[in-house]
Amino acid sequence: MSTIRTCIFPAAGYGTRFLPATKSMPKEMLPILTKPLIQYGVEEAVEAGVKNIGFITGRGKRSLEDHFDKSYELEHQIKGTDKEKSLTGIRNIIEQCTISYTRQKEMKGLGHAVLCGEHFIKTEAFSVILADDLCDNDGDGVMKQMVQMYEKYKCSIVACMEVPREDAHRYGIISGTEEEPGVIRANDLVEKPKPGTEPSNMAVIGRYILTSDIFNILRKLPPGANNEIQLTDALKEQAKNGRVIAYKFKGKRYDCGIVDGFVQATVDLYEKQKS
C-alpha cells in the first residue's frame, strides 16, 4: 500500500491564456485528444497509489465536479455499446477514489492553494499535481517514481528538469548537491528568479510530495514573487534543513498551460496512440 494516500490538485486558475475557450469552461477540462487535461493528472496519482483526491477549485468549475461523478443518463444511453469503453478510465477513478472539493476564495498563489487543502490532510505526507504540467512516460508515471523516492528519503520531493537558462524566470529554480545520479538534495530554491540571477537551470515542475509541516510554514509566509504566497518559498525553508529532494524524473513534460505545449502534447499523444 502506498504511503502517499492523498493528492491535492490546485485548479482554481482562470486559464486566461486559453480565452475565449476558457470563458465559461475550466481550463482543466480542455481535452488532449478525448480526455480532459485534469484526468491525465488524476490517473497518474491513482497509478501511484493515491486514494483521496482533493480539488482546490474556484468559481466556474462545476463541470469538473460533474466529470468526476456518475452520469446516469449517459451510462443508460451507451450501455452495451462499444462506447462504454471510453468511460473505463473515469469509471475506475470514481470507483477507487474519494473525491473532495474546496474553494480557493481568493487567488493568492500556489502556496495559498495548497494551504486551502490542509483539511484534506492529517499528519501524513501528501502529493500535489499541477495538471497543466502533463507528464508522459512509458514506464512508471512520474508520481509513482516520486513515491519511490519518498519511501527512500522520507522528506519533501520535487520533480525537476533542466531548462534553457533564458526560460528559468518562468519556474521555481533549485540548487543543491547530488546525492546519487538524478537525485539532488536542495539547499536553495527561488521562485521565478529575475533573468541572469538564477542559481542554476534546474527547474521544479508541477509534481510535489510534501511533508505536512509545510502547512505551518505556508501559514507564516509573506507574499513572494508576483505578490503571491509561493510554495517554492515554503520549500526553501524545508531545504534549509536538508529536507527537500529534487528528483530528475523519467519521462516527458508538456507545459499545457500555454498553447504551444498544449498543441505539442496533443500531437505527440496522437502519434503515440496511432502507432
Residue ranges binding ligand G1P (CB under 6 A):
110, 130, 133, 171-172, 191, 203-206, 232, 257
How far, rounded to the nearest angstrom, does the alpha carbon of residue 254 sit from its chain's CA centroid? Answer: 12
Nearer to ligand G1P, 90 or 211 (CB): 211
Least distance between ligand G1P and beta carbon 173 (Å): 8
- Asked if 127 and 246 count as a contact pair (C-beta separation under 8 A), the reply is no
Least distance between ligand G1P and beta carbon 234 (Å): 11
- Asked if 244 and 126 count as a contact pair (C-beta separation under 8 A), the reply is no
- What's the CA gap between 132 and 129, in Å, rounded? 9
Nearest residue to the partner ligand G1P, using Cβ: 172
The letter for the amino acid at 92 is N
Nearer to ligand G1P, 92 or 197 (CB): 197
Nearer to ligand G1P, 126 or 254 (CB): 254
Nearer to ligand G1P, 90 or 203 (CB): 203
Least distance between ligand G1P and beta carbon 206 (Å): 4
In the structure grid, which three cell numbers stand for residue 231, read together? Answer: 510554495
Nearer to ligand G1P, 97 or 156 (CB): 156
Least distance between ligand G1P and beta carbon 133 (Å): 5
From residue 261, give the alpha-carbon distance in Å to each of 8, 20, 32, 269.
23, 18, 11, 12
- What's the CA gap between 154 and 224, in Å, rounded? 27
What are residue 52's DSSP bridge partners?
A: 6, 98
Nearer to ligand G1P, 97 or 229 (CB): 229
Least distance between ligand G1P and beta carbon 191 (Å): 5
**93: phi then psi, degrees, rounded to nearest 5:** -60, -50
- What's the CA gap between 193 and 120, in Å, rounded? 31
Least distance between ligand G1P and beta carbon 16 (Å): 12
